[in-house]
């Protein structure tokens, strides 16, 4: 690590941690991402501290866990960019570029980056939309196929593949790297909006999956209350049981989109090596902000503690001359670990307020955290606001509005089919995890714990922690 590396942070939105071939998925093909472990690391027990976009990205860009990042859920608010990732890197000589989906607020605020080229699906803050109209015509639209940006319907992309925003993101990244300051190392955050809905892969990738014999979504013995049948469910519903055909198309398109993104990541890495000659000295991190339930347990979208929503992909590809162990590491990691990992790679000391840890410590075999905490304030309903703890082997979930607890054995039941909190033989394990959550929450001032017990909340609580937004 003598020479400061370039840094490429690639993120996807709403990408489940188990939808990678390296994660053991029986159908999804992600050969380019999988290959990171040949000279890098894969963390199968990676989780989003706030499984929705704005809070998750604050954790990632501030190096802080949920509460201390200023968020407990989804909130379109501004935060202080001082000592955030791009701000620190820029002050230490990096040329910082951000391309793609941000969902930061205000949407064109730089947050420490020198250049921002957003794809934020809003008029005036979407450079992709402007480009598409220039290329295709004044009436061209990303949503010309009729799909909803938060919906469950699916179909192939309606324009040529070269006009898809995934391709545009890679094209823009390569363009900006050709125009970068050659006297500085670069930090690029390339952020894909997909595989988040609309589920609209190009036809060639749709064809890879649409005729496969896909399994039905797992449905836990606790999930019957969400089995509300179509027709009549909203296009952007967060729960409900679709017809087998609807579920099949949704899941096939989602898998196809992930393979499409993987192929474009392969195109990007090839260009960085062959055309720009910078790949050998570039650290690449691939991660997502949260997952997508995809009908698991009759649930959809995100904000849940369940594996489909909270578990995320997390892989690191080393520069060529780095001599670190490679392979699969089962340490539990989170988005708060992205910033300290990058700072260590850049030779920069951690800044004030960081709660995350550099994953290079885990890779080297140093002591590591025993578990990670995640949460989400009420979003779809009061009853779904939650806190969770997991060590990658077990998961404990507490719902403050109902005081309900759930416990899952992830080693034997990664699909979370059976809630062990209802089994008398697991009372000790529930008590153990409850005590840990009491301890975690007692250090905060938001009333969930008094240090002796968990304190239920019978009304909505804010997704924002004003105190930490300003720090």
Residue ranges making up the domain that contains 167: 6-371
Residues 452 and 362 in one domain: no
Helices 244-274, 165-178: axis angle to 10 degrees equals 20
Does residue 198 have a cis bond before it (omega within 30 degrees)?
Answer: yes
In a domain, residue 276? The reply is yes
pLDDT of residue 1: 46
pTM: 0.97
Same domain? For 126 and 210 the reply is yes
Q: Is the peptide bond before 106 cis (omega within 30 degrees of 0)?
A: yes
Strand-pair partners of 190: 10, 99
Of 371, 406, 423, which closes a domain?
Answer: 371
225 and 338 in a single domain? The answer is yes
**Spatial CB neighbours of 366, under 8 Å, sequence gap ≥ 6:** none
Instruction: Look up residue 167 and give its two tokens.
Output: 């391709």
- Give the pair of three-digit tokens for residue 446: 């938001």
pLDDT for residue 391 is more than 70: yes
Instruction: Tell me, rounded to whole angstroms, the distance of Cα 391 from its chain centroid.
Output: 18
DSSP code of residue 189 = E
Structure tokens at 140: 């061209």
CB 37 within 8 A of CB 327: yes
Residue 22 has pLDDT above 70, yes or no: yes
pLDDT for 117-147, tens place per residue? Answer: 999 999 999 999 999 999 999 999 999 999 9
Look at residues 30, 38, 11 and name the one whose alpha carbon lies nearest to residue 263. 30
Residues 210 and 275 in one domain: yes
pLDDT, tens digit, 9 for 90 and up, residues 224-254: 999 998 788 899 999 999 999 999 999 999 9
Which of 374, 311, 376 minimizes the C-alpha distance to 72? 376
The residue out of 317, 342, 371 marking a domain boundary is 371
Dist. CA 6–CA 141, nearest whole Å:
35
CATH code of residue 409: 3.30.1120.10
Give the dihedral sign, CA 458/464/470/471. Answer: positive
Q: Tell me the pLDDT tens digit for each residue of 46-78.
A: 999 999 999 999 999 999 999 999 999 999 999
DSSP E strand boundaries for 78-185: 95-100, 115-118
Measure the CA–CA gap between 41 and 36, rounded to whole angstroms: 7
CATH code of the domain containing 265: 3.40.720.10
Beta-carbon-side half-sphere exposure of residue 262 (alpha carbons within 13 Å): 23
Whether 40 and 11 share a structural domain: yes
Averaged pLDDT, 175-201: 98
408 shares a domain with 259: no
Domain co-membership, 189 together with 66: yes
Mean of pLDDT values over 141-167 = 97
Match 């989109």 to its residue by tokens.
257
Is a pLDDT exceeding 70 seen at residue 2? no
Q: Which of 325, 334, 324, 319 is nearest to 372 (CA)?
A: 334
Nearest to 238 by CA among 304, 144, 157: 304
Confidence at residue 3, expressed as pLDDT on a 0 to 100 scale: 84
Residue 442 confidence (pLDDT): 98
Pick left, alpha or beta for residue 365 (phi over 0 → left; psi -120 to 50 → alpha; otherwise beta).
left
Total number of domains constituting the chain:
2
Please give the structure tokens belonging to residue 387.
């806190």
Residues 225, 326: one domain?
yes
What whole-number distance in Å separates Cα of residue 460 and Cα of residue 430?
25
Listed in order, strand segments (DSSP E) in 295-431 are: 314-317, 327-328, 333-334, 372-376, 386-390, 394-399, 404-409
pLDDT tens, residue by residue, 253-273? 999 999 999 999 999 999 999
Given 324, 345, 371, the domain boundary residue is: 371
Do 125 and 249 lie in one domain? The reply is yes
d(CA 51, CA 329): 22
Distances (CA, A) of 279 to 9, 263, 387: 13, 17, 40
Range 286-302 average pLDDT: 98
Q: Which residue is associated with the tokens 């319907």?
A: 153
In angstroms, the first-to-last Cα distance of the chain is: 31
Cα distance between residue 62 and residue 229, in whole Å? 41
Task: Please name the residue ranges forming H helices in 94-189.
Answer: 127-136, 165-178
| Numbers of helices and strands, H then E, in the chain | 13, 14
Would you say residue 195 lies in a domain?
A: yes
296 inside domain: yes
Closest by alpha carbon to 197, among 249, 159, 131?
249
Rounded to the nearest 10°, the torsion over CA 43, 48, 52, 57 is -80
pLDDT at 185: 98
- Is the CB of residue 364 less than 8 Å from the CB of residue 324? yes
Average pLDDT, the chain: 97
Residue 382 has pLDDT above 80, yes or no: yes
Q: Do residues 364 and 243 both lie within one domain?
A: yes
Q: Are residues 148 and 247 in the same domain?
A: yes
295: left (phi over 0), alpha (psi -120 to 50) or beta: left
- Evaluate whether residue 1 is within a structural domain: no
Domain-located, residue 249: yes
Residues 260 and 303 in one domain: yes
């Amino acid at each position: 690590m003598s020479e400061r590396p370039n840094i490429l942070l690639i993120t996807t939105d709403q990408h489940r941690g188990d939808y990678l071939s390296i994660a053991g998925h029986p159908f999804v093909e992600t050969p380019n991402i999988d290959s990171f472990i040949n000279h890098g690391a894969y963390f199968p027990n990676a989780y989003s501290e706030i499984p929705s976009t704005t809070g998750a990205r604050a954790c990632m860009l501030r190096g802080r866990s949920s509460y201390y990042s200023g968020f407990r859920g989804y909130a379109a608010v501004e935060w202080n960019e001082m000592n955030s990732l791009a701000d620190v890197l820029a002050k230490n000589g990096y040329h910082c570029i951000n391309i793609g989906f941000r969902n930061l607020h205000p949407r064109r605020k730089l947050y420490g980056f020198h250049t921002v080229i957003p794809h934020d699906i809003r008029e005036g803050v979407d450079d992709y939309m402007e480009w598409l109209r220039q290329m295709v015509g004044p009436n061209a639209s990303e949503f010309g196929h009729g799909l909803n940006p938060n919906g469950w319907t699916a179909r192939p992309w309606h324009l040529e593949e070269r006009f898809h925003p995934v391709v545009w993101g890679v094209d823009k990244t390569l363009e900006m790297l050709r125009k970068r300051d050659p006297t500085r190392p670069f930090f690029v955050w390339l952020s894909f909006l997909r595989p988040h809905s609309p589920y609209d892969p190009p036809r060639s990738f749709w064809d890879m999956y649409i005729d496969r014999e896909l399994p039905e979504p797992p449905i836990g013995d606790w999930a019957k209350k969400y089995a509300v049948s179509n027709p009549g469910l909203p296009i952007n519903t967060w729960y409900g049981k679709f017809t087998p055909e609807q579920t099949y198309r949704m899941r096939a398109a989602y898998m196809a989109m992930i393979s499409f993104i993987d192929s474009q990541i392969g195109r990007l890495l090839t260009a960085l090596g062959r055309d720009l000659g910078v790949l050998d000295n570039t650290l690449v991190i691939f991660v997502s902000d949260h997952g997508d339930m995809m009908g698991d347990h009759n649930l959809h979208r995100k904000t849940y503690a369940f594996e489909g929503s909270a578990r995320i992909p997390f892989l690191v590809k080393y520069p060529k001359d780095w001599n670190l162990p490679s392979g699969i590491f089962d340490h539990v990691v989170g988005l708060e670990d992205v910033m300290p990992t990058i700072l260590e790679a850049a030779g920069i000391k951690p800044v004030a307020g960081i709660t995350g840890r550099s994953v290079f410590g885990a890779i080297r075999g140093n002591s590591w955290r025993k578990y990670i905490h995640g949460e989400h304030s009420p979003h779809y309903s009061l009853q779904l606001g939650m806190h969770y703890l997991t060590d990658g082997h077990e998961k404990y979930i507490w719902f403050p509005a109902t005081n309900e607890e759930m416990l899952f054995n992830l080693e034997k039941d990664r699909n979370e089919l059976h809630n062990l909190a209802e089994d008398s033989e697991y009372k000790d394990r529930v008590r153990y995890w409850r005590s840990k959550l009491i301890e975690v929450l007692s250090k905060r001032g938001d009333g969930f714990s008094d240090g002796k017990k968990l304190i239920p909340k019978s009304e909505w609580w804010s997704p924002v922690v004003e105190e930490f937004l300003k720090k």
